Structure 1
Amino acid sequence: MTLSLEWIGMLAGFLTTFAFVPQVIRVYRTRSTHDISLPMYSIFVTGVGLWLYYGWLIGSRPIVLFNAITFVLAGAVLVMKLRFR
């Protein structure tokens, strides 16, 4: 992969991954998950886990790095959704 393509992947991964940070902070502070869909987050976390595995299989640093972080962030929201019911 060319360096410029990898940087595009890194920027895209950064932006889409860190979009979850405000949601994680809000849920943690308010302990409110009423408006969060359990099925959506369950499916999403599973999909991100599969993207992470795919990225590892093909050796793509941007896919592995940002899907690992997204998995943790979205997984945290999912865990809080289950815990704060």
Structure 2
Amino acid sequence: MEIVGFIAACLTTAAFLPQVYKTWKTKDVSSLSLPMLVMFFVGICLWLIYGVYKESPSMICANAITIVSAIMLIYFKLKYQKQ
């Protein structure tokens, strides 16, 4: 079953990376919602804690990578938003 978790982890984590790349390249954050990003970040942190509790390598790996992606998008949103 852990293999299914790793496949799901790879797909969901990889699906998030194009948004990070696009935002980094274009510096266009107008379509990103800061409250959504913060809620997403908190949710992913909780999933990581849950994965550690359940001792699930797939959950730990995917959520650790996604936390980095979420932090990058929050940083881009704060840095590049129009004032």
| TM-score grouping bracket, smaller chain normalisation | over 0.9
Q: Partners of 2:29 and 2:17 in 1: how far apart?
A: 15
Mark the runs of 5 or more structure 1 residues left unpaired by the alignment: none
Q: Give the aligned CA root-mean-square deviation in angstroms.
A: 0.7
TM-score between the two structures when normalised by the length of structure 1: 0.91
User: What code does the residue aligned with 1:8 have?
Assistant: V
1:74 aligns with 2:60: no
Identity percentage of aligned residues = 40
Alignment correspondent of 2:21: 25
TM-score between the two structures when normalised by the length of structure 2: 0.93
Deviation string 1:50-75 (CA, Å, 9 cap, x unpaired) is 10011111211011000000111122
SS in 2 for 1:35: coil
Moved over 3 A (4+): none
User: What code does the residue aligned with 2:53 have?
Assistant: L
Mark the runs of 5 or more structure 2 residues left unpaired by the alignment: none
Q: 2:47 aligns with which of 51, 59, 68?
A: 51
SS in 1 for 2:29: coil
